[in-house]
A and B are shown apart, each in its own frame.
Chain A
Amino acid sequence: MTGNKAVLTGEHFLSGDLACAEGAIAAGCRFFAGYPITPATEIAERMALRLPEIGGIYVQMEDELASMAAIIGASYAGLKSMTATSGPGFSLMQENIGLAAMTEAPCVVVNVMRGGPSTGQPTKPGQQDVMQARWGSHGDYEIIALSPNSVQEAFDLTVEAFNLSEAYRVPVILLMDETVAHMWEKVVIPPAEEIRLVNRKKPNVPPGEYAPFKPEGEDLVPPMACFGEGYRFHATGLTHDEFGNPKTDSPEAQFQLVSRLCEKIRRNAENIIKTEKVMLDDAEVAVIAYGVVSRSALSAVKKAREKGIKAGLLRLITLWPFPEKQVAELADKAKLIVIPELNYGQMVREVERAAKEASIRFLPKLGENLHTPGEILEVLEAK
């Protein structure tokens, strides 16, 4: 460990939750608002312990509605901010996730997925919130969601989540499943100077000329002033023009704003999307998986190769925007695509849409039992 208390450079043995908290701090997060919920509580506990050491703010709010509102407020006041929750709390946050999307507030929301619906199975893993992450708030918007499959990646992708949120002025969801959150593994935290950090674009015009929602450049992202910097600007969840003025009657304003909120992610999708391709070059059968399930899938693919089956794995690291191109390319080559998920059929719909003609086999799983490599292998062998 170096003298830098924010970045705990070195080798650690951590859980996914703790690695996520350390990733946030290393990414520059200095404001955390949260509410206890299994299986995300350890993130709040770690932040409560660690943030004061580095002058950051931990505040325990009265509920998840408040947590989400508070991190948007902190973001507008200039701090990188985060909250962490699980299904029920994620449901409560949805309205203000929409507010963050509408007002382009950079912030990170961690959702450690447990079994749902409703209170469901609080201590068991799930991947049942992937569609909610995309479509949970009302109205049209685009969002970014990332899914780690190891404790190391819980650290790395939390840093990445902050960078993406700052770059695109969008809430970024870290969708971790309970297994990754509670699994303990070795994590290597690099030296601070080796961690790439992105900060929001700042306006370079005097206050009188600042239009807080006017994009600058090709990326469609407006520079962001913060409260107290003298810009005296207004933001609202109502449809607004480039100056933040409400435009509740104008179809043009509605189209201009909503299309830009979507396009700033869609047009930059190839810069955002990350996947991991394992033995796909000559694959005739392939597994598409994300989160903890991808670990079983990798094992199954390796076993299949040992048996002479040309199998491969496409691991989705970015879930939203959906890696459409990558899936379509795979569908052109593979005869069979297998999709194991810890739900009753969610991302398989996206795969079906992107893969069109390919033969698709969905493997649902609910409850504590994860897919075993053998279960996936069986399907690969049966093709």
Chain B
Amino acid sequence: MTQNENLAHPMEVFLRKSRIPHIWCSGCGNGIILHSFIQAVKELEMDSDKIAVISGIGCIGRVAGYVNMDSFHTTHGRAIAFATGVKLANPELTVVVISGDGDLFAIGGNHFIHAARRNIDIKVICANNFNYGMTGGQQGPTTPLEAYTTTSPYGNIEHPFNLVSLAAASGATYVARWTTLHVRRLTASIQKMLQKRGFGFIEVISPCPEIYGRRNKMRTGLEMMNWLKKVSVIENFSDPAKAEVSRDRIIIGEFVDMEKPTFESILYQTIKRVQEGKGR
């Protein structure tokens, strides 16, 4: 082992090396998601000059600063809206939004459903850690019923979103859910999404032992990952509305993989028609 200390980690070319190590806690799944994303880019031999990574606010919001690609760390909830401008202004870019469940589905929920409805070619990877980690662990739109957080000290009284069902119902043409333990399948799924045209969504259930786990009887990353290992069941192309995320069972897999004209393809066809004088 470690015979050659100068040998670089194979993923470093995809990272802004001066920014590593990242800010995330021990056992946090965000680093695994980042690794999985750049692994997918590497395996597809994509041109990093033509990828833009957009993030919102929260722990995983920092991801944009770590990738060696064009990147923008936007305001809370607005990553998808920002990405819409990027994609339409330069359609040759692969535009990837990597952000958290609170950012994408509470403060930014409106942008998510409308981008999915338009089927704009934006790829969304959501790290779902069941709470607002950056601000110290508050209850959010994915916090399970009865779970403890700093703002649900008596147990969460709200029902959580089923993100894959929401994405499918909103019109996303690729929808999947994985966990940070299913990292090979996650990477393959990201690859598939990157190769498709249209609005893609992958939810990644990600451990947050320091902030969420320790309040919910899972003190370490290992305990959280072993829980994910124990309760995850792959049911590809099952009904996303029935794809539960509960203490006893997490349904993972691909749920939607379909073709539908993308927003920008219809937009550019319309522009072409108008320019040919056949606007109406």
Write the residues of chain A forming the contact surface with B, with a CB cutoff of 8 angstroms. 30-31, 33, 52-53, 55, 57, 59, 61-63, 65-67, 69-79, 81, 95-96, 99, 103, 226-238, 244-246
Q: Are A74 and B75 in contact (CB under 8 A)?
A: no
- CB distance B86 to A57 under 8 Å? no
Contacts of A61 in B (CB 8 A): 81, 84, 114
Q: Does B147 contact A (CB under 8 A)?
A: no
Among B48, B83, B275, the residue within 8 A (CB) of A73 is B83
> Chain B: how many interface residues by the 8 Å CB criterion?
42
Nearest A residue to B83 via CB reads: A73
Contact indicator A52/B89 (Cβ below 8 Å): no
A51 to B6, CA, bound (A): 54
Cα-based distance from A76 to B82 in the complex (angstroms):
10
Contact A233–B81 (Cβ < 8 Å): no
Decide if B92 is an interface residue (CB 8 Å cutoff): yes
The reply to whether B70 and A227 form a contact with Cβ atoms under 8 Å apart is: yes
Q: For A231, what are the chain B residues with a Cβ–Cβ distance below 8 Å?
A: 70
| B70 proximity list for chain A (CB < 8 A) | 227-228, 231-234
Q: Which of A69, A73, A235 has its CB near the most chain B CB atoms (within 10 A)?
A: A73
Q: Which residues does chain A contribute within 8 Å of B77, judged by CB atoms? A: 65
Q: How far is the CA of A103 from the CA of B270 in the complex (A)?
A: 33
* Residue in contact with B72 in the complex, picked from A59, A228, A229, A236, CB distance below 8 Å: A236
Binding site for A on B (CB under 8 A): 16, 18-19, 48-50, 52, 54, 62, 64-65, 68-75, 77-78, 81-90, 92-93, 110-111, 114, 267, 270-271, 274-275, 279
Neighbour of B74 across the interface among A59, A69, A74, A228, CB < 8 A: A69
> Is B89 touching A237 in the complex (CB atoms < 8 A)?
no
Inter-chain contact B275/A66, CB cutoff 8 Å: no
The secondary-structure label for the interface of chain A is mixed
Given contacts A96-B78, A232-B69, contact A77 B49 (CB under 8 A): no
Q: How far does the alpha carbon of A234 sit from the alpha carbon of B62 in the complex, in Å? A: 11
Task: Indicate which residue in B52, B65, B82 contacts A69 across the interface (CB closer than 8 Å).
Answer: B82
B92 CB to nearest chain A CB (Å): 7
**Separation in Å of the B133 CB from the closest CB of chain A?**
16
Cβ B82 vs Cβ A70 within 8 A: yes
Q: Is the CB of B69 within 8 A of A228?
A: no
Q: How far is the CA of A235 from the CA of B83 in the complex (A)?
A: 13
Q: By the criterion CB–CB under 8 Å, are A63 and B110 in contact? A: yes
- Selected from A99, A230, A234, the residue in CB contact (under 8 A) with B65 is A234
Q: Kindly identify which residue among B73, B88, B93 contacts A227, using a CB–CB cutoff of 8 Å.
A: B93
Cβ contact within 8 Å between A62 and B110: yes
